[in-house]
Amino acid sequence: MASVSIRIAAANGDGVESSGALLGRVAALNGMEVFGNRGYQSVIRGGHVWNQVRIGDEKLYSYGDSIDILVALNQDGIKNQRSHLSKNAIVIYDPGKCNADELKGAQYTLISIPLLDIALAAGGDPIMRNIVAIGAILKIVGIPLEVFEGVVNKMFSKKGDEVVKSNIKAATDGYNYDGVRKIYDIMGDGKPRYLLEGNTALSLGAYAAGCKYYAAYPMTPASSIMQWFAAHANKGVLFKQTEDEIAAINSTIGAATAGVRAMCGTSGGGFSLMVEALGLSGMIEAPIVVVESQRTGPSTGLPTKTEQADLLFVMHASQGEFPRIVVAPRSVEEAFYLAADAFNLADRYQCPVIILMDLFISEHFETVSNFDVDSIKIDRGKVADPAKASGRFKRYALTEDGISPRSTPGTKGMSFIAPSDEHNEYGDIVSDVLAGIDEHVEMRVKMHEKRMRKIETMLKNERIFVPNIENEGAKHFLVTFGSTTAAAKEAVAALNKKGLSVGLISFNYLLPLDSKKTKAMLLNKHLIDIECNYTAQLAKVIMMETGIEIPDRILKYDGETITTAEIVERASSMIR
Amino acid sequence: MPQNYANGVKPIFCPGCGDFGVYAALTKAFQDLNIDKDNLLVVTGIGCSSSIVQAFGCYGIHSLHGRLLPVAMGAKLANHDLTVVGVGGDGDGYGIGSAHFLHTARRNINITYVVMNNETYGLTTGQASPTGQKGYKTKSTPFGIIENPLNPLAVAIGAGATYVARGFSGDPTHLAELIKNGITHKGFALIDVFSPCVTFNYLNTYDWFRSRIYKMAPNDHDVGNKSEALKRAVEDEETNFDKLPLGLFYRTDKPTYEELDITLKDGPLIKQPMQSRERIIEMLDENR
């Protein structure tokens, strides 16, 4: 497999993000695999930002451990990225903006291009410095200019012919600049790939599942879900920006109770505000989907950095006990399918389903070859038959599997009250004047058991609540969940290449967990736990569910996701 | 024969509670308008007043403390063919739920919001409420309230509600008219109701209200004029709570949220078809 990691570094407002997206799009259209990530800060202008695009000829699982090609648009770009350069890195810089003196003497290939001058000559907009650099990169990695032209025509056509022309001119001048030559030889297969971020894939999965209502309050890194729904509001999905996350989730519960598939999303801080209503959804058995995209905590923490430290929080948030489902997509592609599945699970078990994302999976972009739209089937769960309406409708009928057929407002003869108080089968509350009276105490017990029984039903009817295992015959196993699975997967390949026998156990459906099957899978294996948090929360869950302790842990909490190289290095020392 | 809006469950109100009058007025409003009870959704919060939903034989959501308006909004946006009526208390709506009160009003969603304002926290046995009178001694303010009471009418008018009225639970017939007009009004309607708590509020009693309230005559002020409406709305404070006007303070016609929302141009969400395969493919292809 051949791959190259390209990083563009500059200040916020220099167009780094869109350049990375553009470069990725060109490679994806050329039939290459792409995995990209970005580093940014909670500022709108200034600061130091970077966007890294890794291009390869096989499926990629990380954005690369070091920089093979660096484009530095300012001095910070050289100073801050120097430590990440690979041994033979190529550094493209603008001599008018910075110097590369501190890089001289090493094995780097330094290419000085007057990016700004060329951009100004091509069309006049300084932001097109990026495009000149992209032109040079295309030459270096062997992507024909025509592919770039095709993408620019598509992406910029709304901005007018002039913009398209000047961009093509800028890229051509970079491509043909003296001293720029083909160095890498990465071949695309000619089949265009989808290129998207986790949040976009999640939004698309929800859309494909018939989600019609999304409510949110802006919060990084969940905001791009909001923007997706807002941009597609004329395509049958209503987006409601609310005054806070409390209103977001409560309105989602209202919409779900009224019968539409509904979702809300936020990060940990906003989820903290949603916690009380999460319990409401559990109590009135409203099928909602909640996205929690984690960032570095506690409190405001590092708003633009990633972490996996909310796992135990989402599993236990809200007072009392009620069934809930927690899923954590392991890739951009899986975010699509899990989002779609979340709606079926919510409807089938009439409970909240939490999609646990994190900044890394929400915001990094990846190529996906195909989305199997036809595999998405819509299952609305048990719906009461209005033809059978007689007398008062028992919305919370005590059933064997714990699931009571539901009706929605507007259905004739099937009205009911959905109360946050404990209630009987009709939804009449047994809390206030009736609390403590024998027959109502009995009802409380029956109703609580009815709700909780849904967990047993989930475990009985679904086969998803077990971890996934790869290289089953291996001696050692990396254990992880959600977004860190990708790097772990790449690390497994690297460790095996080193002659070590290593497999992977990854969790995507985390709650409920089939403890028996999970225990059987984990038992008598050397396990190495990998998580982006301090307290090894997944290991705690495993301990709680199976009694198996995992003393070997690779934990990271500096705000960046764990890389393949870090896993390989630390896991190697744990394998004795 | 009018539809029966009761389900046989009795409200938990204390004997003599003002909220009985509100229950009667709501029932009368539903009957007079002959609202299809299968198409009626009553959403409440938490508190004595919010337990009112338990006695209605229509669809209902007895939600969380202070959160009835977002829940009602979500339901209305999901199916705007429903008649959605929010009912709660002053602590619920003007205290813990005050942010939602402001923002639901400014959205002008077609929801009718009836607040039983007894100026106390009843179900938690008598603490100070956001509308409690200055100086009034409660369990949580044994030395007297030192904060100024919130003026829900002025706040609602300022926030963008398009129908603002006040009634008295001791006059359910008059109150029923205000509620009826609120329901038929297109847009966010607030009906604040003086509804005495006979157990915990020893100050704002039936007699206290009766000696101060008066009904505004139809042409007393231009109800379509915001400044005039606000002037009437602050009469409470300006008369040191000696004169408390009842009736319609403000009413204006503005497009509702549902009328303006781009997604709802194709009809109620619940009645719109699921996404077609072609559309899903089209969305996916934006990323290729």
E strand or H helix at A4, and its extent? strand A3-12
Chain B residues with CB under 8 Å of A410 CB are 38-39, 59, 79, 81-82, 270
Chain A residues with CB under 8 Å of B281 CB are 373
pLDDT score recorded for residue A18: 86
Mean pLDDT rounded to a whole number for chain A: 95
E strand or H helix at A224, and its extent? helix A223-231
Rounded mean pLDDT, A196-213 = 98
Q: Is the peptide bond before B172 cis (omega within 30 degrees of 0)?
A: no
Contact present, B132 and B149 (Cβ < 8 Å): yes
C-alpha–C-alpha distance, residues B162 and B245, integer Å: 19
What is the tens place of the pLDDT at every residue in A384-438? 999 998 889 999 999 999 999 999 999 999 999 999 999 999 999 999 778 788 8
Nearest Cβ partner for B71 among A29, A253, A415: A253
Nearest-CA distance from A250 to chain B in Å? 5
Rounded mean pLDDT, A266-272 = 98
- Quick check: A246 and B67 CB within 8 A? yes
User: By C-alpha distance, which of A458, A512, A486 is closest to A316?
Assistant: A512
Place of tokens 């109100």: B13
Rounded mean pLDDT, A505-518 = 98
pLDDT score recorded for residue B63: 98
pLDDT score recorded for residue A576: 77
pLDDT score recorded for residue A203: 98
pLDDT score recorded for residue A119: 94
Chain A residues with CB under 8 Å of B274 CB are 210, 378
Chain B residues with CB under 8 Å of A258 CB are 41, 74-76, 78-79, 82, 270
* 3-class DSSP state of A198: helix
Quickly state the pLDDT bin for A15 (edges 50, 70, 90): confident
Nearest Cβ partner for A410 among B51, B72, B82: B82
Place of tokens 């062997």: A142
Task: Take residue A178 and report the two structure tokens written for it.
Answer: 């003296």
Quickly state the pLDDT bin for B85 (edges 50, 70, 90): very high
Please, what sign has the CA dihedral across residues A331, A336, A337, A342? positive
Rounded mean pLDDT, B211-237 = 96
Q: Is the pLDDT of residue A42 over 90?
A: no
Q: Is the pLDDT of residue B174 over 90?
A: yes
DSSP string, A253-311: HHHHHTTSEEEEEE-HHHHHHHHHHHHHHHHHT--EEEEEEE-B-STT-BTTS---TTH
Q: Is the pLDDT of residue A171 over 90?
A: yes
Contact present, A257 and B61 (Cβ < 8 Å): yes
Chain A residues with CB under 8 Å of B39 CB are 409-410
Residue A215 near chain B (CB below 8 Å): yes
Nearest-CA distance from A158 to chain B in Å? 14
What is the tens place of the pLDDT at every residue in A218-263? 999 999 999 999 999 999 999 999 999 999 999 999 999 999 999 9
What's the one-letter identity of residue A111? I
Lowest mean pLDDT among A18-32, A253-267, A408-422, B150-164: A18-32
Query: Looking at chain B, which residue has its C-alpha nearest residue A252?
Result: B74
- Quick check: B283 and A277 CB within 8 A? no
Q: Is the pLDDT of residue A167 over 80?
A: yes
C-alpha–C-alpha distance, residues A302 and A361, integer Å: 16
pLDDT score recorded for residue A155: 84
Burial A143-176 (b: 16+ CB within 10 A, else e): bebebbbbbbeebbeeeeeebbebbbbbbbbbbe
Residue of B52, B54, B59, B108 best to disrupt the A interface, most CBs of A under 10 A: B59
What is the tens place of the pLDDT at every residue in A293-340? 999 999 999 999 999 999 999 999 999 999 999 999 999 999 999 999
Residue B10's CB is within 10 A of a number of other CB atoms, namely 9
Rounded mean pLDDT, A66-84 = 94
Residue A262 near chain B (CB below 8 Å): yes
Give residue A320's region: left, alpha or beta (phi > 0; psi -120 to 50): left
Residue A22 near chain B (CB below 8 Å): no
DSSP string, chain B: -----B-SPPP-PPTT-THHHHHHHHHHHHHHHT--GGGEEEEE-SSTGGGGGGGBSSEEEE--TT-HHHHHHHHHHH-TTSEEEEEEEHIIIIIITHHHHHHHHHHT-S-EEEEEE-SEETTTTSEE-TTPPTT---SS-TT---SPPP-HHHHHHHHT-SEEEEEETT-HHHHHHHHHHHHHSSS-EEEEEE---TTT-SSS-HHHHHTTEEEPPTTSS-TT-HHHHHHHHTHHHHTTTS-EEEEEEEE-----HHHH-SGGGGS-GGGSPPPPHHHHHHHHHTT-
Number of Cα atoms under 13 Å in the Cβ half of residue A259: 23
ipTM reported for the complex, 2 dp: 0.98
Q: Is the pLDDT of residue A469 over 80?
A: yes
Using CA atoms, how far residue A438 sits from A189, A396, A430, A434, A446, in Å, is 72, 20, 11, 9, 12
Nearest Cβ partner for A233 among B72, B262, B273: B262
pLDDT score recorded for residue A210: 97
Nearest Cβ partner for B72 among A248, A254, A429: A254
Mean pLDDT rounded to a whole number for chain B: 96
Sequence spans of domains, chain B = 19-285
Residue A233 near chain B (CB below 8 Å): yes
- Quick check: A240 and B279 CB within 8 A? no
* 3-class DSSP state of A571: helix
Rounded mean pLDDT, A539-560 = 98
Sheet-wide strand order for A67-72: A109-112, A85-93, A67-72, A3-12, A46-56, A33-39, A365-368, A194-197
Residue of B42, B50, B85, B287 best to disrupt the A interface, most CBs of A under 10 A: B287
Residue A516's CB is within 10 A of a number of other CB atoms, namely 12
Quickly state the pLDDT bin for A86 (edges 50, 70, 90): very high
Rounded to 5°, the CA angle A367-A370-A372 comes to 140
Give B142's contacts (C-beta < 8 A, 6+ positions apart): none
DSSP helix, strand, coil percent of chain A (3-state; round to 5): 40, 20, 35
pLDDT score recorded for residue A41: 78
Chain A residues with CB under 8 Å of B44 CB are none
Nearest Cβ partner for A257 among B46, B61, B284: B61
User: By C-alpha distance, which of A389, A348, A277, A345 is closest to A510?
Assistant: A345
Nearest Cβ partner for B79 among A410, A416, A420: A410
Nearest-CA distance from B251 to chain A in Å? 24
Residue A418 near chain B (CB below 8 Å): yes
Rounded mean pLDDT, B56-76 = 98
* Cβ pairs bridging A and B (under 8 Å): 205
Nearest-CA distance from A189 to chain B in Å? 15
Output the CATH code of domain B19-285: 3.40.50.970
Residue A255 near chain B (CB below 8 Å): yes
Sheet-wide strand order for B112-117: A417-419, B59-62, B40-44, B83-89, B112-117, B189-194, B163-168, B244-251, B213-215
Quickly state the pLDDT bin for A185 (edges 50, 70, 90): confident
- Quick check: A252 and B99 CB within 8 A? no
Task: Take residue B23 and report the two structure tokens written for it.
Answer: 């229950």
Catalogue all structural domains in chain A, each as residue range(s) with its CATH number.
3-192 (3.40.920.10), 196-375 (3.40.50.970), 386-461 (no CATH), 468-574 (3.40.50.920)
Nearest-CA distance from B56 to chain A in Å? 8
C-alpha–C-alpha distance, residues B9 and A429, integer Å: 10
Query: Looking at chain B, which residue has its C-alpha nearest residue A26?
Result: B288
Nearest-CA distance from A489 to chain B in Å? 25
Rounded mean pLDDT, A543-560 = 98
Q: Is the pLDDT of residue A43 over 90?
A: no
pLDDT score recorded for residue B215: 98
Q: Is the pLDDT of residue B157 over 90?
A: yes
Chain A residues 161-200 within an 8 A CB cutoff of chain B: 192-196, 200
State the pTM of this model: 0.97
Nearest Cβ partner for A257 among B38, B75, B272: B75
Chain A residues with CB under 8 Å of B93 CB are none
Query: Looking at chain B, which residue has its C-alpha nearest residue A281?
Result: B63
C-alpha–C-alpha distance, residues A289 and A206, integer Å: 9
Chain A residues 101-130 within an 8 A CB cutoff of chain B: none
